[in-house]
A and B are shown apart, each in its own frame.
Chain A
Amino acid sequence: MSEQPLDGAEIAAPTLRPGVREDFDLLYRRSYAAILATLTATLGDRAAAEDCTQETFVRAFKAWDRWRPEAPPEAWLHRIAINTANSYRQRQRLGQAGELVRRVGHPRPPRDPGDIVEQNEVIASLALLPTKQAAALVLRHYHGYTNREIALALGVPERTVASRLSRAKERLRAIAGGEQGDGDEVQDRTNWLESSNG
């Protein structure tokens, strides 16, 4: 777990005012690392995570005028970040489908090792989960969010968070167990999980 758990109350100090540029800059400096970590674990790709983090703050900046001070800004940012990661994955899937069509009959080129910065097995496994499930695990087991805070960040009821965490762990366990076998087998199982969960 992180040594610096998120403290929403600290960031949600009354000094943060919606629409004020300086306050958003302060929020950016405070939250950038946490958002980047969440997206890195969710996407499994440092470069993509950095890109999505910047995109997250661009979206948040455009909506900063409408931010309600009642909600912790970190949770609000995480919600935007998860949606951004979801969009990124969808685009990536479409791109992969197009690439697959182009590569019919040709051998798959070796993957650039630079694309996967994190060689950590946990992060590699999380990247195979649906975005929201992976994000829920990261928020719970790395950032130390409670289920209520995760519900706030994801915009879902707490019960949904609990069931989502439970299913994520089941699948993670299955993926981790399958890693002992053939790599393609794991990939096929992950694809099935992705398609079954949307």
Chain B
Amino acid sequence: MADSASRHLDLWLESGLGRGLDPVMASAATPPVPRYSGLHVLRRSEPAMVGSRGGRRAAIAVGVAATLAWATALGAAASTGTVDPAVWVRHVTRVVETCRTDLSARESGVAGCFGAITSRDAPAGPGSANGKKSADRPGQNHPGVAGNDAGGKAVPGPGAAGTAPGLATAPGQSEPPPGQSVTAPGKSGSAPGQSATPPGQSATAPGQSATAPGHSATAPGKSGSAPGHDPSPAAKPDKKP
């Protein structure tokens, strides 16, 4: 009895569903344009560039790289006065050659020399005082200034003592701009204008140091400068051992 009722219900269901849904199936044999057609599906191998953490990181990296490139180009253009990258390359080559010439007897120091020259070549202004900043800061052990650090007290004298050899003016460029003196104030007797000594006349030129290596005030290992590059004979320490 129950089985018969259940069977009857099943038949009623199936016939009713067939009558009601077969026309629906027939009419939907050709489906309409799907609503998802305007969407984009992401494949597993496809990197998600937008909205994901990795995408944001990539965008930040690209932004930083673009900013650095732009800043470099701007600085180079300001330093050389042209936007031609070939001129920038020639300028850099020239500066490096100048530094090598000046520092021929040194083991290192080209970087400081390069930075000083490029900052000096840049237009004078509040933001162009990189050379001043590095030269004026006491205890930086900048070549040429380090001897004074070791001696504690430098005796001012002619010959622009304390002038960093790496910061010596390039030939044809007699003076650094005002405010960009490469001489550490208080550590040498030279006025800012006197520090611009051509390499040939510099007291710090290699091989022209009046201080014998054995009498150098700079203790080996305590200074970034070599013993043969003491600023001047006048830069001898007050107190001799």
Contacts of B29 in A (CB 8 A): 33
Complex CA gap A120/B16 in Å reads 7
Contacts of B24 in A (CB 8 A): 33, 36-37, 40, 46, 49, 118
Asked if B21 and A123 sit within 8 Å, CB to CB, the answer is yes
Given A32-B28, A58-B39, the answer on whether A40 and B16 have CB atoms closer than 8 Å is no
Asked if B25 and A58 sit within 8 Å, CB to CB, the answer is no
Please tell me the number of chain A residues within 8 Å of chain B, measured between CB atoms: 42
Contacts of A49 in B (CB 8 A): 24
Contacts of A138 in B (CB 8 A): 17, 21
Contacts of A62 in B (CB 8 A): 36, 39, 41
Asked if B17 and A141 sit within 8 Å, CB to CB, the answer is yes
Over the window 31-71 of chain B, the binary record of Cβ atoms lying under 8 Å from chain A Cβ atoms (1 yes, 0 no) is 10011100101111000000000000000000000000000
Question: At the interface with chain A, which of B4-12, B181-189, B226-234?
Answer: B4-12
Q: For chain B, what secondary structure do more than half of its interface residues adopt (helix, strand, loop), or is it mixed?
A: helix
Given A2-B18, A123-B20, A169-B6, the answer on whether A19 and B39 have CB atoms closer than 8 Å is no
Please tell me the number of chain B residues within 8 Å of chain A, measured between CB atoms: 28
Over the window 1-43 of chain A, the binary record of Cβ atoms lying under 8 Å from chain B Cβ atoms (1 yes, 0 no) is 1111000000000000011110011001100111011001100
10 cross-chain pairs, A with B, having the tightest CB-CB distances, nearest first: A122-B16, A120-B20, A32-B31, A33-B28, A61-B36, A54-B35, A19-B43, A142-B17, A123-B20, A37-B21
What is the interface of chain B, defined by CB distance below 8 A to chain A? 5-6, 9-10, 12-22, 24-25, 28-29, 31, 34-36, 39, 41-44
What is the interface of chain A, defined by CB distance below 8 A to chain B? 1-4, 18-21, 24-25, 28-29, 32-34, 36-37, 40-41, 46, 49, 54-55, 57-58, 61-62, 64-65, 118, 120-123, 137-138, 141-142, 169, 172-173, 176
